[in-house]
Structure 1
Amino acid sequence: MKHVARLRLGLAACAAAGLLAPAAQAETFNATAVAGHPEVFLWVKTLSDTLIPTVSEQLEGTEHSINWMEAYGGTLASVGGELEAIEGGLAQIGIVSSLFEPSLLSLQNVSYATPFGPADVDIVFDTVDEMHEEIPDMKALWEEYDMEYLGGGFGLEDYLLMTDFPVDSLDDLQGRKINAPGPAVNWLKGTGAVGVSGNLTSYYNDIQTGVAEGVIVFPTAAAAAKLHEVAPYVTRVGFGAQYAGAIVAKKSWFDELPVEVQDALRGGVDAFAVQYRQGLEQRVAAAFDTMQSGGAEITEFPADERVKWANALPDIAGNWAREQNEKGLAGTEVVNTYMQKLQEAGVDLPRDWTVE
């Protein structure tokens, strides 16, 4: 009995001194998922319907769980304000659109600086995702704002041209006023067309009132906005699919999570990537069906005219790369790596944007 008593006293002393590891305890972590867009947008729907349930499933059988709060459609952050919400600790994970952060996340917008790339979203998303692992500056941009890049890149399908007049050649654009979003205005330089900056909220009215005669847009947005009613000539020019952002977590929060929770979050992001791409393919097909049944005339732009358009543009990629270089970022490396990977993937590029 005395021996047992001494053993108990010894164990108690060790525990008090911190020499014995405490037994693992179940822990619930609170996480707010943020997106500026509402759930009608596929990337937000997939975050809610796929990523979150997958994470919860992967945590089953572990000692941990996540108590989720979902804040979409401007309830916590407006479109383009997600990065600030996560950085400030209002949310722990979410979708950040690099497209709306051209200064803070400039390198992530490489596909917009290299138009006429692949229409295949898998190639574009996978390529930019790989580049995050190979080019330190790309992850460093996220980490500067306390972001852990989790991947699952999301973006937009092959952009096309919609007009209120038929387009069979580059010459048909001479003097025409064409709406385009942000960096896509550069895709009109040197073509003879007049680029008019705009967005989805203004396109329909701009074309209807004559402010513009057409628009560069992606199919799913075009069908939803019924742009074919005012711009029935749909020309599949092949500007290329675009990388637009990723799933990220607040790094200081993520780093303190148990490994099992970190792994579950990464597993959820992987599931998001698969489901998003499948869903996008279905929505693009439905968008073309909607436009065609609504009276749109859908045509393929001639391959030789596509080459002519691409080569009429100024050195968009080179100018963009040099701007990044001046900021101390790997602009030239990003463009050249992107071009090399696309060529290795067998993409037929009408123009090689490699920077000399």
Structure 2
Amino acid sequence: MKTNHLKKGSTFAAATAIVFAVSISVASAASFTLKIGSGQPMKPIEPINVANYYFVPTIEKRVAAETSHKIKFIKLWSTVSSPFDVLENVQKKLFDIGLFCACFEPTKASHLAFHYYLPMVTDDPITQLKITRKVYSEFPEWEGDTKKFNQTVLGAPAFSSYGIGTTFGWKKMTDLAGHKLAGAGLNLPWLKLLSDVTVIQTNLNEAYNSLQSGVYEGVVIFPPAWKGFKLDEPAKYYTEVGWGATTLYQMTINNDTWASFPSEIKKIFNEEKENWMLKASQMARKKYDSSLAALKKDGSTLYKLPYDQRAAMAKAYDSWANDEAKKLDAKGLPASKLFRRYLNIAEEAGIKLPHKYNIK
């Protein structure tokens, strides 16, 4: 009788433990609804495009398959925010996750677009991504600076290299003298530092009419955007200048949102952000090549600026690059150290720099 009593007690204890474990599992399962957004349209911009078609659905599927939790995204691409307000909207948690160009945040996040200050390193987005991620692994405080705005950078893919579309042909830097050329934001100094060039601030919405009417004669731009906005109709020349690939477009997540995730969800995010960066960079390289092919097919004259001319341009930027490093140093960022290390890492990766900037 005593043995039977013990067996019954053991069976009851085991059953109780199972029920308790199941109840804990059910109680710990959570559902998250996340707002992800941008201030620009999704389809033409590679980081947003890949976020929409790869990152978002993959996170949802993996969380459902690999954890007891669920995530649902609400996608707000270019609907409730301007390009200039995304960082602030993540800070306020109007977005849980935001995608924005660091070029639109000149006072808060221009350091994340530091390639602007060190142009002409590499035209290849995938190479740029690799060397930049290595730099950031050695300087975590660089991306970590966004924590003051209650958000964390998940990553930034690389765009394809900048060139310039014009209404006239040119072969060397001095040929640009006397012409009216346009740019936007952080790429304007690339033009201003060239001798006798009239520089005009612009945006893509007004570029077609401005080129057609002669307000200006050229625009600093990526080939996909040049072709996508049909700017090859009023201006039939495109030059691969080699200003370089850039990791401009950031994906940040609100720190309160991130803190609410269990570790298994954070693990999935950390894995998929790497895939997102690589896939978006691969798309950028593919679109660069296909856009140049389309321009040639449709009658544009293409030209690739020779290495010696790239070197001449880069030398013109030397003191400016150092000045920009010192401005960021004054904000408490290790810019001079990071700039020097970035150039060294580029050389270690086999890149032959047209000019190695003298960052003091």
User: TM-score, normalised on structure 1?
Assistant: 0.90
CA deviation map 1:217-274 (0-9, x unaligned) = 1111000111111221111111111110322211121122111111122222122123
2:167 maps to 164
Q: Which amino acid is 2:297 matched to? A: S
Identity rate, percent:
23
Q: C-alpha displacement at 1:278, in angstroms? A: 2.5
CA deviation map 1:195-232 (0-9, x unaligned) = 21212112222222222111111111000111111221
Long gaps (5+) in structure 1: none
Q: C-alpha displacement at 1:31, in angstroms? A: 0.8
Cα distance in 1 for partners of 2:102, 2:153 equals: 12
| Residue 154 of structure 1 pairs with residue 160 of structure 2 | no
**Number of residue pairs the alignment of both structures matches:** 348
Q: Contact 1:106–1:324 at 8 Å: present in 2 too?
A: no
Cα distance in 2 for partners of 1:132, 1:170 equals: 33
Residue range with higher mean Cα deviation, 275-284 or 214-223: 275-284
Q: Contact 1:165–1:233 at 8 Å: present in 2 too?
A: yes
1:104 maps to 108
Residue aligned with 2:250, SS: strand
Q: C-alpha displacement at 1:102, in angstroms? A: 2.0
| Residue 252 of structure 1 pairs with residue 253 of structure 2 | no
Q: Contact 2:318–2:357 at 8 Å: present in 1 too?
A: no
Q: Contact 1:191–1:309 at 8 Å: present in 2 too?
A: no
Cα distance in 2 for partners of 1:137, 1:102 equals: 18
Q: Contact 1:156–1:244 at 8 Å: present in 2 too?
A: yes
| Residue 208 of structure 1 pairs with residue 212 of structure 2 | yes
| Residue 334 of structure 1 pairs with residue 338 of structure 2 | yes
Q: C-alpha displacement at 1:120, in angstroms? A: 1.0
Q: Contact 1:335–1:354 at 8 Å: present in 2 too?
A: no
- Written as runs of structure 1 = structure 2, the 5 A alignment for 1:165-244 is 165-188=168-191, 189-244=193-248
CA deviation map 1:111-135 (0-9, x unaligned) = 0001112001112222223333221
- Which of 50, 63, 69 does residue 68 from structure 2 map onto? 63
Q: C-alpha displacement at 1:20, in angstroms? A: 9.3
Q: Contact 1:321–1:335 at 8 Å: present in 2 too?
A: yes
Cα distance in 2 for partners of 1:266, 1:110 equals: 23
1:24 maps to 25
CA deviation map 1:269-326 (0-9, x unaligned) = 1221232122222222221122122221001112222222222335121110111112
Q: C-alpha displacement at 1:104, in angstroms? A: 0.7
Residue aligned with 1:37, SS: coil
1:129 maps to 133
Q: Contact 1:32–1:93 at 8 Å: present in 2 too?
A: yes
Q: Contact 1:110–1:334 at 8 Å: present in 2 too?
A: no
| Residue 269 of structure 1 pairs with residue 269 of structure 2 | no
2:38 maps to 35
Long gaps (5+) in structure 2: none
User: RMSD between aligned alpha carbons?
Assistant: 2.5
Q: C-alpha displacement at 1:2, in angstroms? A: 9.1
User: TM-score, normalised on structure 2?
Assistant: 0.89
Residue aligned with 1:69, SS: strand
